Amino acid sequence: GDMAAMGEHREVLEAYRMFAHDRGWIRKIEEAIRNGLTAEAAVEKVQSDMRARMLRQTDPYLRERLHDLDDLAHRLIRELMGREHGPLASELPQDAIIVARNMGAAELLDYGRDRLRGLVLEEGGPTSHVAIVARALGIPTVGQVEDIVSMADGDDAIIVDGESGEVQLRPPPDVEEAYAEKVRFRARRQAQYRRLRNKPSITKDGVEITLQMNAGLLVDLPQMAEAGAAGVGLFRTELQFMVASSFPRKSEQQAQYKQVLDAAEGKPITFRSLDIGGDKVLPYLRSIQEENPAMGWRALRLGLDRPGLLRTQIRALLTAASERDLKLMFPMVATVDEFLAAKSLVERELKHLRRHGHAVPDDIRLGVMVEVPSLLFQMDELLTHVDFVSVGSNDLFQFFCAVDRGNTRVAERFDTLNLAFLRALKTIVDAANSAHVPVTLCGELAGRPLEAMALIGLGFRDLSMSPSSLGPVKAMLRSLDAGRLSARLLPRLEPGHPESDIRGFLSRFAEDMDVSL
């Protein structure tokens, strides 16, 4: 594969190295061999003991690791039996869909990416490593599909709908036709979006909107030119850490950031410092059992308490961006002081690099993710210190409405376009504009045409989204009269306006005004 895929293979394979070099594991295998088992049988035995032990764990994360261990044992057995590793890309049929109990992220990377169309797993939940890596590679993945392995045969037709999370095994002709129509429709729309790629991102009434994309691995970057993004509005640095097996050393982090900056070819990239903890656990970082991890020890809090981690990352970023521009933002900031503490870490590292005669970035801009509602009441102080702000709409909404997005019971009840939340977003954009501080919104809101339309109506002019959303959002904004929308939307946010169904109003507006949704 290309270099990008190679680099990524390596990170995931690091995870296997950790298991493979585990003295205890190897010692147990050797002992079993001394007791008269063949090497293959010894690996089997040690693996099944290990399985039994790990299945007793209640920690879902540890149980997730079990699959990585299984995968390693199978690889070792294949090696011992002198078999080829995994299916070679050339053996994979065109448009292949993998159905498996579970798999390690490294195993996924063994398959040729150009032929692999989907992944169906009995176990893997949405936060498992393999799901995260599959999402980053743009492979539709559906997990937690009971008994699918025993039900499916090698050459069955199967439809994997990554968006709805549905899997259709041996679909009847009418279902297949409905999906085929959906695919044809999508292909026509994709062609239409490709034609828009080089057209300016300007509304009908001449308002310029900057569209950026979110990314997390080097593999994502070629999509920047393909999708016509103006830059990367959110680069999630933790993905590199999540697919590695031991803490990436400064040199490895630096190499990754430098490759990312090279691949961007001068377009701006906004790095977000390590956002781990909560549901994003690292196998090599002893995780703390927390009652409520989403509101616990994560992201910048973890970074400030373990400054070694954060300083290593900052130094790697400063070195990688030497003699160009660096934009860095910190996640989960709840007080202005936390930002100032992070900023002073950056200044210390800069001083250190300069003192030792290293080149440093030409321009450094530091910002904050606005995702904890407490910042809404510190906007004025915050804006005197930061160079830019970025609204993390997913977490902000979650904390703002006290709703867990993963919990379908409550997620359905709260509309992201509710009055209170839109007022909060408007507070942020108004404060940033009056302080002349650039503001971006990156989150799922930015990538859905109707929601993106609302954001433009509120005054946002810079949105960052997944690459596949750029086309639909651009088609929407080029058919939108932003001034007219604001004139009709903003009064509805004023106290005492009789109508509270803002989503309904927006849908009607789009229909009446022929906005392309």
Could you tell me which of 420, 430, 416, 493 has the C-alpha nearest to residue 459? Answer: 430
The dihedral through the CA atoms of 493, 497, 501, 503 has a sign that is negative
Beta bridge pairs of residue 166:
161
Active site residue 401: no
Q: What is the Cα–Cα distance from 238 to 282, expressed in whole angstroms?
A: 9
Tell me the CA distances in angstroms from 517 to 355, 356, 401, one per residue in order. 54, 54, 27
Active site residue 442: yes
Tell me the CA distances in angstroms from 177 to 159, 168, 172, 183, 270, one per residue in order. 11, 12, 9, 10, 43
Q: What is the distance in angstroms between the CA of the first residue and the CA of the last residue of the chain?
A: 37
User: Tokens 């061999």 — which residue?
Assistant: 33
Q: What is the Cα–Cα distance from 407 to 405, expressed in whole angstroms?
A: 5
Catalytic residue among 9, 356, 436, 442: 442
Cβ atoms 62, 54 nearer than 8 A: yes
Catalytic residue among 9, 21, 67, 129: 129
Look up residue 447 and give its DSSP letter: H
Which value, in Å, is the radius of gyration of the alpha carbons in the chain? 25
Q: What is the Cα–Cα distance from 229 to 237, expressed in whole angstroms?
A: 19
Which contiguous run of DSSP H or E holds residue 67?
A: helix 60-80
Active site residues: 129, 442
